[in-house]
Amino acid sequence: MLLPMRKVKVPLGSRSYEIHIAGGLLAGIGKACARLSLGKRCAIVTDDQVAPLYAKKVEQSLQAAGFDTFTFVVPHGEPSKRLEMAQRGYDALAAHRLERGSFILALGGGVVGDLAGFLAATYLRGIAFVQVPTTLLAQVDSSVGGKVGINLKAGKNLVGAFHQPRAVFCDLDTLDTLSEREFRAGMAEVIKYGVIYDARLFARLERELPQLLRREAKPLGAVIARCCEIKAEVVGQDETESGLRAILNFGHTIGHAIEATAGYGKFLHGEAISIGQVAAAQLSVALTGLSPADAARIEDLLAKTGLPTQLKVDARRRQRMMDAMKLDKKSSGGEVKFVLAKKIGSVLFGQKVPADLIHQAISPK
């Protein structure tokens, strides 16, 4: 079945770019890059799980289009987003004589995209980069919007930059090899877009969930494109998160606190923000007029997606989560602000929430 190529524009003046969404994009990546007036030399940054699946195809396509490529492979997983790995990356870029006109292509999930983008933002004070996201989370979220960075021991994403890619290529076929758990975790971000911005998208997700979970390319392509459109609209209005962009953090305040206190690897990001969205929905019922029926729809859709919706915590863990929220880099002056919903499709950011309500939402009876 031939599927339409969907294109979404991210409107950022002279730094505008397009997100391409379709099956079978990898084979044509060389030709597509050739249209971006990039330099001849290219570093492909990928991880050791994605490389055996897709690196050869990308290398061959780029080389056939006249690019001179080398591939830098990092171990898969969050620990690769650290300064030592960036250091190795810089050395590899220099050893392969990447110049101002050269570019970096990120092939992989959000870890690879954030690290590769960070290298591109800083090497020679910034070179071009192209995103080829291969996880659902990276296709709908991390590859779009230009946030790049690495982690410190003190916390995630504490060092980074805003560095927009020159283009994003979401090849739907790459999602076929993604594990069930990673795919469902990505769906938590998809559902988030419905809650924060688009009631019709939310209703579509309710209707088409079985097809989406089977990864049927047609509905999945349409849904990914809609999520990218929403992210593009939000980022287009607020590139550096001085306001509106905060709505993308619905479910993330408590979600990040869960991740920060659970120990590495216990929860995937999507699983943590699934629990965070249910908690934020509950707070929204108390504070911003979300109807209990809408809150139930949110919880129900996340549960049907196979995501966790609740966490049992004791008083100590709850306190550690409260501390983590205050330390979160998005809080200021120790005050924790939430994104809360008025109804499905419409949210408010910067909402103060009394501590006792947060307590209740973290560990509901």
Ligand X SMILES: NC(=O)c1ccc[n+]([C@@H]2O[C@H](COP(=O)([O-])OP(=O)(O)OC[C@H]3O[C@@H](n4cnc5c(N)ncnc54)[C@H](O)[C@@H]3O)[C@@H](O)[C@H]2O)c1
Pairing of strands 147-152, 155-162: antiparallel
Q: What letter represents residue 281's amino acid?
A: A
**Quick check: is 266 catalytic?**
no
Neighbours of 126 (CB within 10 A): 12
Exactly one of 189, 239, 259, 271 is catalytic; name it: 189
**Quick check: is 239 catalytic?**
no
Structure tokens at 36: 């971006």
State in angstroms the smallest separation of the CB of 176 from ligand X: 8
**Quick check: is 157 catalytic?**
no
DSSP character at residue 147: E
Q: What letter represents residue 19's amino acid?
A: I
State in angstroms the smallest separation of the CB of 171 from ligand X: 9
- Within 55-84, the residues that bind ligand X by CB under 6 A are 76-78, 81
Closest CA to 32 of 179, 132, 142: 132
* 285 is a contact residue toward ligand X (CB under 6 A): no
- Determine which residue in the list 71, 102, 134, 351 makes contact with ligand X, applying CB under 6 A: 134
**Quick check: is 245 catalytic?**
yes
* 328 is a contact residue toward ligand X (CB under 6 A): no
Query: Can you spell out the DSSP letters for 206-261?
Result: HHHHHHHHTT-HHHHHHHHHHHHHHHHHHHHH-TT-SSGGGGGGTTHHHHHHHHHH
Closest CA to 188 of 110, 252, 262: 252
Where do the DSSP E strands lie in 134-172? 147-152, 155-162, 167-171
Q: Which is nearer to ligand X, 182 or 238 (CB)?
A: 182
Q: Give the residue nearest to ligand X (CB).
A: 110
* 120 is a contact residue toward ligand X (CB under 6 A): no
* 137 is a contact residue toward ligand X (CB under 6 A): yes
* 141 is a contact residue toward ligand X (CB under 6 A): yes
**Quick check: is 330 catalytic?**
no
* 165 is a contact residue toward ligand X (CB under 6 A): no
- Within 239-268, the residues that bind ligand X by CB under 6 A are none
Structure tokens at 294: 């809408």
- Give the total residue count for the chain: 365
* 50 is a contact residue toward ligand X (CB under 6 A): yes
Give the position of tokens 């008025």: 342
* 223 is a contact residue toward ligand X (CB under 6 A): no
State in angstroms the smallest separation of the CB of 293 from ligand X: 30
State in angstroms the smallest separation of the CB of 147 from ligand X: 4
Exactly one of 18, 151, 239, 249 is catalytic; name it: 249
Exactly one of 20, 163, 192, 269 is catalytic; name it: 269
Pairing of strands 337-343, 147-152: unpaired
Note whether 168 and 128 are within 8 A (CB): no
- Determine which residue in the list 29, 178, 195, 340 makes contact with ligand X, applying CB under 6 A: 178
# residues contacting ligand X (CB under 6 A): 29
**Quick check: is 163 catalytic?**
no
CA 89 remoteness from chain centre: 22
Structure tokens at 261: 């206190």
- Determine which residue in the list 145, 194, 219, 276 makes contact with ligand X, applying CB under 6 A: 145
Q: What are the Cα distances from residue 237, in Å, to 15, 240, 307? A: 13, 9, 31
Binding residues for ligand X, per CB under 6 A? 47, 49-50, 53, 76-78, 81, 108-112, 114, 134-135, 137-138, 141-142, 145, 147, 156-157, 174, 177-178, 182, 269
Catalytic residues: 125, 147, 189, 231, 241, 245, 249, 252, 256, 269
